[in-house]
């Protein structure tokens, strides 16, 4: 029996982050599908989103909350820095990823380039073109920080890295990577380090629209 249940869709960036956290912590998880918008889904999540985690009688939604719970409820490698400033910096990055990186990189580029065509639609090229300079700026900001240490909050990966890697990886898989990630050597090196981790190999999904 798995240690926890995660309800979600494997290619979802946020679902993937929770699965990375579980793997890094060394616990087992069962990934379960949901029928979006259904009554059973709304019973799990009042806003009918993913992911959702269950551990015994405990249920949580919101990726950051789930990852923190995984770290603090189980024994294993720490997923959060012990240093006060580094932990605050982790929170800063998590907020930035949710507020800026996901919007410009995933919603406006990756979804338009991969998900929309996979569902029979046409990419909104104007939307993508408008997002490119913003996505490039987010990668520049990350590159400046990653030029100082191997990971976003120091020499060990944290929840911030596990939330960033789906964004950066998916962005690296579309043509717009040449105008956003390319040339940011610290981001490219960091992404290589993250991809070499066993947790990545254990959880990497197919394309977002698959």
Note whether 141 and 121 are same-domain residues.
yes
> What CA–CA distance (Å, rounded) separates 36 from 48?
7
Residue range 143-177, pLDDT digits in tens: 999 999 999 999 999 999 999 999 999 999 999 99
Note whether 107 and 191 are same-domain residues.
yes
> What CA–CA distance (Å, rounded) separates 172 from 178?
8
Is the pLDDT confidence value at 61 over 90? yes
Is the pLDDT confidence value at 207 over 80? no
Number of Cβ atoms within 10 Å of the Cβ of 20: 27
Note whether 139 and 191 are same-domain residues.
yes
Q: What is the value of pTM for the model shown?
A: 0.96
CA distances from 126 to 134, 135, 151, 176, 178 (A): 14, 14, 33, 13, 17
Is the pLDDT confidence value at 208 over 80? no
**Cα-Cα-Cα-Cα dihedral of 51, 52, 54, 58, to 10°?**
140
Is the distance from CB of 130 to CB of 195 less than 8 angstroms? no
Specify the CATH number for the domain of residue 182.
1.20.1050.10
Helix axes 84-96, 159-172, angle to 10 degrees: 30
Averaged pLDDT, 97-123: 97
Is the distance from CB of 30 to CB of 24 less than 8 angstroms? no
- Which residue range forms the structural domain that includes residue 195? 84-203
- Band (pLDDT 50/70/90 cuts) for residue 209 is low
> What CA–CA distance (Å, rounded) separates 95 from 101?
9
Amino acid 210: pLDDT = 58
Residue range 16-60, pLDDT digits in tens: 999 999 999 999 999 999 999 999 999 999 999 999 999 999 999
End position of a domain, from candidates 49, 73, 97: 73
Computed over every residue of the chain, the mean pLDDT equals: 97
């Amino acid at each position: 029996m798995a240690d926890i249940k995660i309800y979600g869709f494997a290619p979802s960036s946020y679902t993937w982050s929770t699965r990375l956290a579980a793997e890094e912590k060394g616990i087992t998880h069962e990934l379960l599908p949901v029928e979006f918008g259904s009554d059973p889904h709304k019973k799990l999540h009042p806003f009918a989103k993913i992911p959702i985690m269950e551990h015994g009688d405990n249920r949580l939604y919101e990726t950051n909350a789930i990852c923190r719970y995984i770290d603090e409820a189980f024994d294993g490698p720490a997923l959060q820095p012990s240093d006060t400033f580094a932990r605050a910096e982790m929170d800063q990055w998590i907020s930035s990823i949710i507020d800026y990186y996901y919007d410009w990189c995933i919603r406006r580029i990756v979804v338009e380039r991969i998900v929309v065509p996979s569902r029979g639609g046409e990419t909104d090229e104007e939307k993508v073109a408008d997002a490119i300079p913003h996505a490039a700026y987010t990668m520049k900001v990350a590159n400046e920080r990653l030029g100082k240490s191997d990971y976003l909050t120091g020499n060990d990966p944290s929840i911030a890295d596990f939330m960033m890697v789906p964004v950066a990886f998916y962005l690296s898989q579309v043509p717009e990577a040449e105008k956003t990630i390319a040339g940011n050597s610290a981001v490219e090196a960091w992404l290589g380090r993250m991809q070499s981790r066993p947790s990545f190999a254990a959880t990497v999904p197919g394309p977002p629209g698959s």
